[in-house]
A and B are shown apart, each in its own frame.
Chain A
Amino acid sequence: MNAPAPHHLTTDELDAILGGTTIERASAHVAGCTICRTMVDLDRRVVDALALLALVDPSPGFAPRVMARVSIHAPPVEVTVRALSAKRRVAVGAVLVTAAVTGGFVWAASHPAAALAWADPALQGIGQTLWTSLQAAAANMFEQPWFDGTRDLLAAPARAVPVLGAAASLYAAALVGLRRLLAEPVPNARW
């Protein structure tokens, strides 16, 4: 006769034993209970037999047959990839330029003497060049025959002031008129 078995194995305990987990109470019970030991042995035999069942392959043409019936809705992958690449290039360029400019400012702030020593001749040269270019352009324009009237007008400020005043007034009136026009509600506007 077996030792008294207060509780036979629960299903969870049986699962645990079959899964290889050791539960002290369950193991102790199984050791002394013939019924549960037999059940564990038989269940283990069943589980082992099930585990031996091999997976079965479908016939060789299975995948192509499935693929022939599948509709692949491809989004415009190429366009997306290109767009992403273009954006990435712009972003990388912007980052590099920003980094270079910021780095330049930081360097100049930390080395003011060297920065000025380098910048002064360069700035002077650039300023000189720009001023000479501007003078040349202005002189060239005013030398043209169709600027005779303008030259005459600027030569006599008494005549230039009312003309410029009239032009400024006309411009201001045009601005006011345009603003009022834009403030009007437009029926069925579709912008």
Chain B
Amino acid sequence: MRTPAAWVPLSDQEVVRHAVMGRDSAYRELIRRYQRPVFSLIYRMVRDRELAEDLAQETFVKVLNAIESYRPEYKFSSWIFKIANNAAIDHLRKRSLDTLSLDGSPHAQTADAVEATTLQIGDSRESALDEVTARELGTQIEQAIGKLRPEYRSCILLRHVDGRPYEEIAEILDLPLGTVKTYIHRARNELRIYLTDTRDE
């Protein structure tokens, strides 16, 4: 049996091949690789931690139970993000969410739970002032993302938070490349306007 470190040099396709052979540890490795990005995407789409956990769990269960149908000519990341995005979009279509849980999940019962469910902004700032500024900016951008249309939200998160190339985003969202570029451009415009307005207030 492979140790977790032994999986690191393997590509997603190779890990999937081991999973198809029935290796339990290969399944765990796929979860380890994708739980953060998938959960982050869904969380920022639906903006509720518990709901995001449920949707992320559904995503992984769906993907891993259908692992034998995975076609290695496609990127595994595209496949799992597609399913995650569809889960989030389907949910958003069923129910519109207006409240932004930047200050923790509304279901959090304790201070620790609030802290644990608070959206984290990158903390690589050097000084406390930088950190506060970054945190404010992060809070503003999270709020701004929450105001975008779901399609724009998926595009901007995949592009500028996950760093996915346009082609992969088009594959994930089943959209033409030109549409993806347009969505990202419009999303940036909206975010820019929102941030400018916030700064001016």
Contact = CB atoms under 8 A, between A and B. Distances in A.
A162 B27 CA distance: 81
Given A55-B37, A58-B39, A66 B188 contact: no
Contact of A66 (B43, B64, B121, B192): B64
Contacts of A74: 21-23
A113 to B, nearest CB: 57
A46 B60 contact: no
Nearest to B68: A73
Contacts of B181: 11-12, 15
A77 B44 CA distance: 41
Given A45-B195, A49-B138, A50-B156, A56 B39 contact: yes
- A contact residues, range: 20 to 34
Contacts of A52: 121-122, 124, 134, 137-138
Contact of B53 (A47, A58, A70): A58
Interface in A20-56: 39, 42-43, 45-47, 49-56
A191 to B, nearest CB: 36
Contacts of A57: 35-36, 39
A67 B156 contact: no
Contacts, number: 121
A174 interface: no
B160 A47 contact: yes
Nearest to A52: B122
A67 B28 CA distance: 8
Contact of B56 (A58, A70, A77): A58
Interface in B59-102: 60-61, 64-65, 68
Nearest to A42: B192
Interface string A111-132: 0000000000000000000000
A170 interface: no
Given A52-B122, A55-B40, A70-B61, A46 B22 contact: no
Given A56-B39, A73-B22, A42 B195 contact: yes
A50 B120 CA distance: 12
Interface of A: 11-12, 14-15, 39, 42-43, 45-47, 49-59, 62-63, 65-67, 69-75, 77
Which 7 interchain pairs have the tightest Cβ spacing?
A: A74-B22, A52-B122, A50-B160, A49-B141, A58-B39, A55-B36, A54-B120
Given A15-B185, A72-B22, A73-B22, 14 more contacts: A11-B181, A11-B182, A12-B181, A47-B160, A50-B157, A50-B161, A52-B138, A53-B138, A53-B161, A59-B53, A62-B31, A66-B60, A69-B57, A77-B22
